[in-house]
Chains A and B, each alone.
Chain A
Amino acid sequence: MSAIELRPTCKPADYKSEVHPIWCPGCGDYHVLMAFTRAFAQLGLAPENTVVVSGIGCSSRVPAYTTCYGFHGVHGRSLALATGLKVARPDLTVIVASGDGDGYSIGGNHFLHACRRNIDMTYVVMDNRVYGMTKGQPSPTTEPDFDTALSPGGTGLSPFHPLVIALASGANFVARAFSGAPNETASILVEAIRHPGFSFVEILSPCVTFRPDEREWKSLVHSAPVGVTHDPAKAARRIMTDDGFNIGILYSGDRRPYQPRMEGQNVDLADLEKDFEL
């Protein structure tokens, strides 16, 4: 986190825009938005130096609901966009909001390489294990037996395991949170934003319309029984063998973030284009 400018006693309401969310009542994403604004207030982030980037999907509506700068980008391409932004403007605090469809399917490849590049940004994926905006298709994290008219008998496919993938790909901070605990989620987001490099936070965020069974997550989540580890192998073993409802910071690494030197490289775009003229 390079751009945090401390301000006296910011309130969460200072980060909430006048645009009202249009999520379904009961949606976990309301709590995630609340966690965002609470985390930003705790950090005292300057809205004009903070950017929330997103792709497409219910979760990707977040930028419109904050007073920070925002970019509602192309489906699955939020990380590519955020990478360019952070490289060009390392002084900004960059937070990326995504969902399990946008982030792990359409944007799956960007996820791998964003972890690998380890650019200083925070990637938040609101995982509800379904494509909610398009009315309930299975996503990469959907259980194999999710039986609906759109997936009769279930897909039979093993779910994607984002936290392990993130670790294996080089993410510098890996955490799991639950939307129904916005204060705890805010605390995790604070640590994620503060941590140098690529921080990945998966937030279990129920879709009450197409996955009403996920209301039960409230009784399934629990704090991680062991503290944060700095050993990715140990973290991977823990994550692979947990029940998927372990909440907390699961890995905190010390890889140096990637940040290309930009000084003295003021290139005129017209000059660059000359080389490509036919």
Chain B
Amino acid sequence: MSKTPSERPITNIADLLALAHQIEADAVQRYTEFAEQMETHNNQELVKVFRDLARAEGIHAAEIRKMAGDVDLVAQAQRLGRWNKGDSPEEADLGAAHYMMTPWHALQLALVGEKQALAFFTSIVESAKDAKIKEMAAEFVEEEAEHVNLVYRLLRKYPQPADEWSEDDDPPIAQD
């Protein structure tokens, strides 16, 4: 069976950079969405956490754009259509948001994303035939591994909340 465009192996550096950039750009969009939601619902602690996460991903996206030079990474990623039927690896699930969520929950989402990105680049290292692609993907693996460790370090600061974290004395449901 022939592979769909989204499954085709990466055969050049521009494609790898385009996908790496899409991962970071999508993550920026998701974390920004989360931050805006929390801003609307006045969960200020979470606003800061999500803004920091978005900023960190944005820095990585900018670094990748710099590496790509004149290549239009957005157009390149659109042509590849890698995640047309699913989320890119670092896209946190907006459906998991809750107006009383805590930094621990935010970091759990980030951890899932970072681990998925790590697995994605690791699979490229393992499958790439081209030495340059393998080398660049290995750099991304190193970076993502560092991100995973960073999230674990942050989680030490924010322990898991008690089971009643979502209990609200004045909930929005007026009908019951």
Contact = CB atoms under 8 A, between A and B. Distances in A.
Nearest to A212: B173
Nearest to B37: A25
A210 B72 CA distance: 43
Contact of B176 (A12, A22, A148): A148
B174 A135 contact: yes
A136 B175 contact: yes
A220 interface: no
B29 A26 contact: no
A25 B101 contact: yes
A20 B40 contact: yes
A187 interface: yes
A184 B173 contact: no
Interface string A2-33: 00000011011100000011111110101100
A180 B83 contact: no
A215 B95 contact: yes
Interface string B165-176: 000000011111
Contacts of B78: 9, 41-42
B39 A20 contact: yes
Per DSSP, chain A at the interface is loop
Most buried by B among A34, A41, A215, A218: A34
Given A25-B37, A148-B175, A209-B173, A11 B74 contact: yes
A21 to B, nearest CB: 7
A106 interface: no
Contact of A9 (B37, B74, B85, B94): B74
Interface in B35-74: 36-41, 72, 74
Most buried by A among B88, B95, B176: B95
A28 B36 contact: no
A162 interface: no
B98 A150 contact: no
B95 A181 contact: no
A223 B84 CA distance: 13
A262 interface: no
Contact of A34 (B33, B39, B84, B97): B33
A208 B95 contact: yes
Contact of A135 (B97, B99, B175): B175
Contacts of A218: 95
Contacts of B74: 9, 11
Contacts of B95: 26, 28, 31, 179-180, 206, 208, 215, 218
Contacts of B131: none
A30 B34 CA distance: 10
Nearest to B176: A149
Interface in B80-136: 83-88, 93-99, 101
B176 A187 contact: no
A51 B74 CA distance: 25
Given A25-B38, A136-B175, 11 more contacts: A20-B36, A23-B37, A24-B172, A31-B95, A34-B33, A148-B175, A180-B93, A183-B83, A183-B86, A187-B85, A208-B95
Interface of B: 25, 29, 33-34, 36-41, 72, 74-75, 78, 83-88, 93-99, 101, 172-176
